[in-house]
Homo-oligomer: A and B are copies of this chain.
Amino acid sequence: MHACHEHATCVEEALGAADRICAERELRFTDLRRRVLSLIWENHGSSKAYDIMEKLGGDYSAKPPTVYRTLDFLQENGLVHKINSLNAYVGCSHPLKHKDCFFLICSCCNEVQECCASHVADTLRDMAGKNKFSPRHTTLEIEGECQDCLKKN
C-alpha cells in the first residue's frame, strides 16, 4: 500500500521536513518532539498514544501528559493527524499543504493512506453550503481493504 519501500527514508524525510517547518515558524523541534514523530513514522500503520509512551520508556519514562502534549504540538503544526475512528495518530505525508485530507484505513494490514483530492473537498464544501453550514474541520476516514490485502485474500 505504501509507496515507500526504503522505510528508513520516510522517517528521515519526515524529520527533515519537520525540522524545516519548525525553523520557519521559529518553533522548537525538541528531542522529545523529534523522537515522538520518529516513532510515529516508524509505524506504517497508526500509533496509539500509550504505545508511543511505552516506546519512549527508558531515558524518558514518559507519562501521559508528556505524550499528549507532544502529539498536540505535532498536530497543531500539521505534522501528524489524529484518526478519530481509531484513537490513533499518523504522520502527515505532506505537511504545510495538509488541508482537506482524508484517510484510507486498511483493517487487514492496518496501514493508513493519506489522500488529498481537491474535488472531494469541493464536493463536501458544496454539500455543506447547500445545508447552510459553515465547515471548519472535516473528519473523513474510510475503513476497508487495500489493494495488496485484496490480492492476498
Contact A113 B131 (CB under 8 A): yes
Q: Taking the nearest CB of chain B, how far is it from the CB of A47, in angstroms?
A: 17
Contact B138 A145 (CB under 8 A): no
- Does A141 belong to the interface (CB within 8 Å)? yes
Give the copy number: 2
Contact A141 B144 (CB under 8 A): no
Contact B139 A140 (CB under 8 A): yes
Q: Which of A15-43 contact B (CB under 8 A)?
A: none
Supply 24 A–B pairs (Cβ within 8 Å), ascending by A. A84-B85, A85-B139, A104-B128, A104-B135, A107-B136, A113-B133, A120-B127, A124-B140, A124-B142, A128-B142, A132-B146, A132-B147, A134-B144, A135-B142, A135-B143, A137-B142, A137-B143, A137-B144, A138-B140, A138-B141, A138-B142, A138-B143, A139-B140, A139-B143
